[in-house]
Amino acid sequence: MAGSRMKLELSKVVQGRCRLGQLKEMGRMGQHCLDIPGCLLYTHLGTVPHLTQDTLHTLSSLPTVTQVTLSNIAEHQDVLEEFKGGFKKFAGLHDTVLYCSLHDSAAQSPTGHTTNKTVSVWGSGGRIELTVAKFMALQRTVQPDWYQTMADGETWQTGISRKRVRKSVDRSLAHLDECLLVHQKSQELDGVSVFGVVEGGDILEERLRSARETAKRPVAGFCLDGFQNGAMDQALRSQLITAVTKELPEDKPRLLQGVGRPDEVLACVEAGVDLFEGFFPFQVTERGCALCFLFDITPDPESAAADEEQHTAGETQPNGDLNCDDQTHMTRFEMDLKDKRYQDDFRPLVEGCGCYCCRNHQRAYVHHLLVTNELLAGVLLMIHNTSHYNSFFRAVREALANDKMDLLRRRVLGTVKEESG
Ligand SMILES: [Zn+2]
């Protein structure tokens, strides 16, 4: 079996699919665990953008799984091979589980470069074509604790034909089998967990076939790929994910790639997803924004209503378009601190937030840093956004534990006016 001792313990399953629990005995030594639903720590080459390890560790309850992508790593293969100690040691990462994925969900890769035998990733120096042999050589060099297998995920654009989708499922299964064959013969990958990739575009029968076939293989978990398309209707996506997760074994985790917006996270948790990539706070930071959506569901109806009133009374930049699909654009869950209205706003980014930024600085200061292009702006925003996003996931778990998902959804979507508790 190509997989570690990683175990998934479910403490609660709501409506037969929405899962609360813990991934246990992760990492090669089996010393790490991760609560689900949860998110991973997004990095570029092992570093959370804008933050040093010291700054990062001022944040409480960081995700225990660090994500790196082959698109960042592939061009450094020679150096890593020479180094020999694996990527964790190379990047000075201690005490974390390393997950290696193929693409960076925060970066849009060009399409049209996959073949029956290869997929391409884009590094800073351009395109790198990977065969299964090269892909697996990279994994042996990186020595992650988990990795996703090579897959053809180019089915997320609109208007993709059924034939192309079928081909992507076939290719991804063939890549999976080849990866597993190499994996099982590689001593360096002993105890490393393999995540199989479920493809199938927006075609239900292909999604089901991909899920069923992948589940037959000795994988430790599943990546649900190709759902990042902004053009896919949210209801259709939920339907497809619900159908897919029904086909997957209950005792293995499901990681959804390319989805990070809070409302979408909630819908996908309800469809049976356990894990998300953590790129969303980075995207928000890059556009000079701060996450400010509400997720507090403590049963105090009066303060909840008051918060809400304050929240909607122009405190934040209203976006209003919940169906704004492109994740590179500002969403209604954040405020644009570059906006002039914040130049003399001396409140913290979010009242009550315990992060370093909110404890020490005001909106006006971050606005000033942003308009003068100071590097500290990114640092402070990344601290706040990472902290806010992690706290949101904690709130999702609490809501699940206490049967308050409806309340949480209304709170996040900003429609809670009064609540009986
Ligand atoms: Zn904060």
User: Ligand 1: distance of its center to the CA of 20 in Å?
Assistant: 26
Here the tokens at position 1 are: 């079996």
Same domain, 237 and 301: no
Here the tokens at position 192 are: 């490393």
User: Containing domain of residue 340, as a range?
Assistant: 295-320+328-412
Residues pairing with 99 in the sheet? 67, 146
d(CA 149, CA 173): 10
User: Ligand 1: distance of its center to the CA of 261 in Å?
Assistant: 18
User: Ligand 1: distance of its center to the CA of 291 in Å?
Assistant: 9
The verdict on whether residue 103 carries a ligand-binding annotation is no
Same domain, 184 and 223: yes
In a domain, 247, yes or no: yes
pLDDT by residue for the chain (421 residues), tens digit each? 444 578 999 999 998 899 999 999 998 778 899 999 999 999 999 999 999 999 998 998 899 999 999 999 999 999 999 999 999 999 999 889 999 999 999 988 888 889 999 999 998 889 999 999 999 999 999 999 999 999 999 887 778 899 999 999 999 999 999 999 999 999 999 999 999 999 999 999 999 999 999 999 999 999 999 998 677 889 999 999 999 999 999 999 999 999 999 999 999 999 999 999 999 999 999 999 999 999 998 865 555 555 554 554 344 443 334 434 444 689 999 999 999 999 999 999 999 999 999 999 999 999 999 999 999 999 999 999 999 999 999 999 999 999 999 999 999 998 765 444 3
Same domain, 81 and 219: yes
User: Ligand 1: distance of its center to the CA of 349 in Å?
Assistant: 6
Of 278, 310, 338, which marks where a domain is finished? Answer: 278
Same domain, 302 and 370: yes
Same domain, 270 and 299: no
State the CB neighbour count (10 A cutoff) for residue 250. Answer: 11
State the CB neighbour count (10 A cutoff) for residue 281. Answer: 28
Same domain, 274 and 305: no
The verdict on whether residue 355 carries a ligand-binding annotation is yes
User: Ligand 1: distance of its center to the CA of 9 in Å?
Assistant: 32
User: Ligand 1: distance of its center to the CA of 361 in Å?
Assistant: 9
Cβ pair 83, 90 in contact under 8 A: yes
- Select from 144, 62, 65 the least CA-distant residue to 102: 144
User: Ligand 1: distance of its center to the CA of 71 in Å?
Assistant: 31
Q: What CATH number corresponds to the domain at position 212?
A: 3.20.20.105
The verdict on whether residue 100 carries a ligand-binding annotation is no
Same domain, 205 and 315: no
d(CA 410, CA 108): 31
d(CA 382, CA 367): 14
Q: How many independent structural domains does the chain possess?
A: 2
Here the tokens at position 49 are: 């953008």
User: Ligand 1: distance of its center to the CA of 188 in Å?
Assistant: 41
In a domain, 167, yes or no: yes
pTM of structure: 0.92
